């Protein structure tokens, strides 16, 4: 009886070029992150209207924003765990259908309490889906394309948040603020159906768990059309040999991860604090600065669109130079926030400045998304990315809440931009240290690859 053939799925993935399979996966992921972003941010554009209807003050409105972000914190932990247990594909489908149904639920909201509860519940699937989308794409992308692909799919999220403004401007005057949630919910449910038909499971995940060899073989033949996979072949993840298959939190701090993981978490907290203040409060801050509601919605959408552009400009530098390339974004953001807080400029110039802040601030945040999962092996990458994004929600929750508290004081509204400059300063320091460590890791991999005469292995430590 002959020996079973052994196939290393990591080698197949690393040999890939930009095939139709890889592009198709990125497109599917882009679509779903688009609707995740849309449904996440509809609350910001609807807030001036339901705040008036239910007579909410700024602190109550900030509480509603923060409850959604608290939900995403919970969702990152729970769905990261579920995704590492049952797979990326079923968890992503369930999460997408879940946030679609709960977004539709806002149609029935009739009080501060119901808005608060719906936003908390809706945040759970919204927050859990994104880390799994990153994990799935990281597990299919060759190392040289990983940051690029994750950034491209996150552009879907950013553009989804940007489209919320035009959708609100279009629907709310005709049908009221609840109409935007009906639109977003139906679109997300339709997306879940698309995922059910088209989304593949990660073959790195399946091989690391020793599951469904027939499905792995089918995907390999989609990636390499001329390859014949022998019956009964054994599939392994060669560049993750020796890593534990069952997750426990201590795995996130093994080896060099004892520095990288907490530094990424702190960077994420402070980046999220600034980003989610800007994303949630821009419509109301701009109204306080005497812009019209239409201008305020347009400014919020422009921030998100410029963030996508900033991430797009950054991604190839990150693929080539590693995490150190991200550092420039928060440094520039800090300078722009100080300028916005203390320098008096005209109406139109402030709109341009706001767009630039959005570009560098959100673009740098996308840079974090692109690297937060690459340091962990497939067996618990969902947990690694999920824990990072969930811990980040400390900042996401605090940003809108503190924003509401500060806006309720006598502090001049524009000075809040200067206060926010603290956030990118901390982000820059943390990501610079992570970047230096990542550069050393890449250097070691390059030397090892040169000595072995092969391409470098995946960007993981531990």
Q: What are phi and psi of 235, to 5 degrees?
A: -110, 135
Q: Which of the residue ranges 74-78, 338-342, 395-399 has the most confident prediction, judged by mean pLDDT?
A: 338-342
Whether the per-residue pLDDT at 66 is higher than 90: the answer is: no
Among residues 345, 367, 363, 366, which one has the least CA distance to residue 417? 345
Nearest to 340 by CA among 273, 426, 274, 409: 274
Give the pLDDT confidence score for residue 453 in this predicted structure.
56
The rounded distance, in Å, linking the Cα atoms of 119 and 70 is 9
Three-state SS sequence of 224-274: CCCCCCCCCCEEECHHHCCCCCCCCHHHHHCCCHHHHHHHHHHHHHHHHHH
User: What number is the average pLDDT over the span 161-177?
Assistant: 86
170: number of Cβ within 10 Å: 13
Which has the higher per-residue pLDDT, 358 or 192? 192
pLDDT score for 119: 92
Token pair for residue 311? 């991430």
pLDDT for residue 155: 77
* Band of pLDDT at residue 458, cut at 50, 70 and 90: very low
Residue 116 · residue 65 · CB < 8 Å: no
pLDDT for 76 equals 80
Q: What's the rounded Cα separation, in Å, for the pair 386 and 104?
A: 25
pLDDT at 270: 92
Is the CB of residue 365 less than 8 Å from the CB of residue 272?
A: yes
- Which residues on adjacent β-strands are paired with residue 236? 8
Contacts of 166 (CB under 8 A, 6+ apart): 301
447 or 433, higher pLDDT: 433
Mean pLDDT confidence for 127-140: 84
What one-character DSSP code corresponds to residue 454?
S
Long-range contacts (CB closer than 8 Å, 24 or more residues apart) made by 344-353: 347/291, 350/289, 351/295, 351/299, 351/302
Q: Cα separation of 213 and 310, whole Å?
A: 40
* Distance of alpha carbon 132 from alpha carbon 76, whole angstroms: 9
Q: Among all chains, which residue has been given the structure tokens 């779903």?
A: 32
CB 374 within 8 A of CB 260: no
d(Cα 84, Cα 227) in Å, to the nearest integer?
29
> Domains in the chain, please, with CATH?
6-452 (1.20.1250.20)
Flag the least confident range among 181-190, 323-332, 361-370, 379-388. Answer: 379-388
H or E, element range at 6: strand 6-8
| Helix axis angle, 381-407 to 257-288, nearest 10° | 30
- pLDDT tens digit sequence for 220-277: 888 887 777 788 788 887 766 555 556 678 888 888 888 889 999 999 899 988 887 8
Q: Please give the structure tokens belonging to residue 57.
A: 């003050």
At residue 44, what are phi and psi to the nearest 5 degrees?
-70, -40
Question: Could you give the maximum distance between any two Cα atoms of the chain, in Å?
Answer: 82
For residue 335, the model assigns a pLDDT of 94
β-sheet bridge partners, residue 46: none
Number of C-beta neighbours around residue 295 at 10 A: 16
Assign residue 242 a region: left if phi > 0, alpha if psi is -120 to 50, beta otherwise?
Answer: left
Specify which residues 356 forms β-bridges with. Answer: none
Residue 7 backbone phi and psi in degrees, to 5: -120, 125
Mean pLDDT of 31-40: 86
DSSP secondary structure of 365-390:
HHHHHHHTTTTS-GGGHHHHHHHHHH
Tokens at 447, concatenated: 């030397």
| Structure tokens, 3 | 């020996």
CA-to-CA distance for 453 and 435, rounded, in angstroms? 26
What the block records as the tokens of 262 is: 């907490």
Confidence label for 459 from pLDDT (cuts 50, 70 and 90): very low
Length of the chain in terms of residues written: 462
Please give the structure tokens belonging to residue 358.
Answer: 């959005």
Contact, 122 vs 69, CB < 8 A? no
Tokens of 27: 């497109």
How far is 135 from 380, CA to CA, in rounded Å? 9
**What pLDDT digit, counting tens, does each position of 428-441 carry?**
999 999 888 888 87
**Got the DSSP string for 98-119?**
HHHHHHHGGGG--SHHHHHHHH
Q: What angle (nearest 5°) sits at the alpha carbon of residue 106, between those of residues 100 and 108?
A: 125
Q: Which of the pair, 397 or 156, is modelled with greater confidence?
A: 156
């Amino acid at each position: 009886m002959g020996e079973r053939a052994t196939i290393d799925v990591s080698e197949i993935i690393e040999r890939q070029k930009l095939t139709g399979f890889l592009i198709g996966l990125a497109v599917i992921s882009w679509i779903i992150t688009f609707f995740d972003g849309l449904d996440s941010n509809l609350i910001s554009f609807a807030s001036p209207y339901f705040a008036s209807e239910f007579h909410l003050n700024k602190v109550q409105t900030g509480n509603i924003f923060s409850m959604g972000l608290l939900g995403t914190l919970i969702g990152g932990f729970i769905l990261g765990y579920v995704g590492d247990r049952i797979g990326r594909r079923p968890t992503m489908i369930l999460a997408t259908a879940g946030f679609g149904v709960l977004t539709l639920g806002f149609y029935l909201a009739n009080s501060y309490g119901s808005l608060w509860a719906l936003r908390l519940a809706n945040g759970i699937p919204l927050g859990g889906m994104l880390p799994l989308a990153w994990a799935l794409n990281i597990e299919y992308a060759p190392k040289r394309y990983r940051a690029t692909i994750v950034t491209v799919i996150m552009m879907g999220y950013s553009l989804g948040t940007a489209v919320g403004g035009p959708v609100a401007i279009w629907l709310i005057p005709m049908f009221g603020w609840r109409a935007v949630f009906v639109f977003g919910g139906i679109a997300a449910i339709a997306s879940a159906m698309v995922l059910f038909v088209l989304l593949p499971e990660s073959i790195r995940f399946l091989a690391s768990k020793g599951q469904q060899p027939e499905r792995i073989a089918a995907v390999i033949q989609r990636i390499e059309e001329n390859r014949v996979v022998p019956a009964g072949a054994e599939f392994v993840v060669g560049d993750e040999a020796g890593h534990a298959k069952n997750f426990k939190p201590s795995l996130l701090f093994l080896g060099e991860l004892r520095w990288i993981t907490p530094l990424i978490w702190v960077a994420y907290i402070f980046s999220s604090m600034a980003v989610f203040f800007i994303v949630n409060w821009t419509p109301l801050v701009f109204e306080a600065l005497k812009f019209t509601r239409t201008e305020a919605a347009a400014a919020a959408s422009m921030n998100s669109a410029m963030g996508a552009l900033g991430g797009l400009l950054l991604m190839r530098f990150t693929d080539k130079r590693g995490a150190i390339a991200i550092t420039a974004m928060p440094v520039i953001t800090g300078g722009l926030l100080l300028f916005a807080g203390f320098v008096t400029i005209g109406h139109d110039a402030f709109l341009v400045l706001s767009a630039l802040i959005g570009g560098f601030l959100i673009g740098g945040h996308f840079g974090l998304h692109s690297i937060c999962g690459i340091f962990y092996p497939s067996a618990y990458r969902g947990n690694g990315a999920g824990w990072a994004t969930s811990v980040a929600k400390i900042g996401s929750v605090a940003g809108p809440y503190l924003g509401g508290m500060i806006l309720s004081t006598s502090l001049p509204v524009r000075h809040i931009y200067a206060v926010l400059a603290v956030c990118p300063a901390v982000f820059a320091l943390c990501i610079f240290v992570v970047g230096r460590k990542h550069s050393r890791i890449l250097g070691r991999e390059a030397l090892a690859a040169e000595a072995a005469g092969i391409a470098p292995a995946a960007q993981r430590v531990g």
